[in-house]
Structure 1
């Protein structure tokens, strides 16, 4: 039994699942809610960017019933936002209302009304997390340049010309905005020959901008990244399984059940001693440290069983559909610790290996990628890119 004296780490995890510019498997607001709360319960401080909190319609639906309209999703994140379990990272210490006004002047797409920004300000102001916009902008620009220069090597013809034009545009922009890259892509496509080479090269430009945009803010925040499975994880050929437990209840990863679980249950879950140990030990993994592996396995076992009981209590008399899914769920969850055979770095994995393709299970991979931050960021404020490592925690659908 995990003791009551468990202590939380203070690590930050940035939730890029909310990122509207990123291709992801998120289908609807209930799906996003499952991911937000899943990562909130498995990390100490979950961070969401100001633009993401403002300009992502699905996230707005989780905060405001007016924004949700007829989506049929619980608009109940307020307790997690107001308590600081989920914190919004705001540029240069501004309020969300001020950020929205800046966006209005720049004609940013998907911008909310003033009432929503004020509502979110009221929920998050006491726990707002400040970052420097110039640092994020510089990291974003440096990342796009680095990725495009890498892809340009060895190319020729129209592919090379497209990359050259993109790099010229990006390097001229100060600051560089994601929307500006998108506008440039549309303009270049309209004025080009429309050949297959150009179309494919522009798709690479778009992916480079999206990847750098997703990574820039967590780099500057020195936070781990919770992301869909679009990142490069260590090759399975170079890893070995150190520990594995295969008979855990699978409901913790059931996206349908997670999306419908009342927020009060999540709040209760964050107070469990086993959850505190789990967060701390996973945080050590994300930072490249050495966790207490037996204690980590014990905490995962105890917490997953607590969550199973919580699902039963929550749905017993209130949600017939969820109860039917829970009762019909016989899949077991697997939790394992892997080690890179070359570097010795540890990682953790959580999945439901027997799930059907039709089932809505999340999975989890926690690794320290050991990758330097984007080039050029070391000159920005106190961020040292040569020492900063990108911690990754992913939560994509299995398969």
Structure 2
């Protein structure tokens, strides 16, 4: 979340930020009403406390002087002050909560390098790699290739769990597991520490990364006020919630595989075929904790790390910068990596890499200490990125590596993870 002091001193910046995000709003008038009421309440409490303390000091002297009636009256004033202070402190607590909730609902401020735009059609392309795959035969979509090769069984997935679920079998199950191992190995080689976190999170963790309260309807709720995680970012970032890190250890580089669960409440009618937009999917995530002066460089290197995986798999892709209107709630800057999908005759997002600045760290209270640079502690910068979405990678492999006879060539980099399998052939 934003710093309340920053909001107070820069309301026009917040106005501009929300306007540039197209659909973001904040209640500026209510913020300043609450802020003024808070300061007035604090001032009155301090005045009453000073009056109480002064009166309390008088009581002993009055009693020593034999002025019992005056001492009793002073005691009554102290008691009355105590009640008024308690009432005001209760009011302040209510004001603080409403003020906190109001500020917590304001999205992050876009970095000055983020281009203005209305939606994803305004995202500029930064670079691309590889040429879009062209075929001299009638190419199939992954939703046709999957059943034909026995890799994906959509009907049984729906039977088992419902719409937007699917079942992997044979080479499909093997490739899913292979991609997970391949991605994790690449990141570990690059210096990321691997974790194996829970997939059920508490509300504090989801608040820390910004999913709650704004995106509650997109989450799968379980008993006891818990949630299925929408991404491993939630768990990896919250590992250090309410902690102070050693500045000499930064940056910290973390990675994890988890299944991810999303209601997709706002995506009705979008990508209804195939495995591009589903309720449960696998993903390997990257998270970084960095010093403020290093975080933008860490964002660039995170994008390169995700790109490396696509290059090793030989999948054409492009990198785009998200414009203000397409920027996520917690991000100050974000790159999307989009892989070429022949079935769409277009690129589809396969990774988002975001710098959240100190936005998540303030929500999760993650700080670092560096005595050589400053006294006390400061908020870290947190970054996250997909490395990569496994199902979308499988779909891209199936479509880009398909052959005229309906078979699918396994990318060379993936073969050691697939028991040496070179080609996946259609069912006879």
Q: Which bin holds the TM-score, normalised by the shorter protein?
A: under 0.3
Q: Which structure is larger by alpha-carbon Rg, 1 or 2?
A: 2
TM-score, normalisation: structure 1: 0.23
TM-score, structure 2 as length reference? 0.22
Q: Which of the two has greater strand per residue?
A: 2
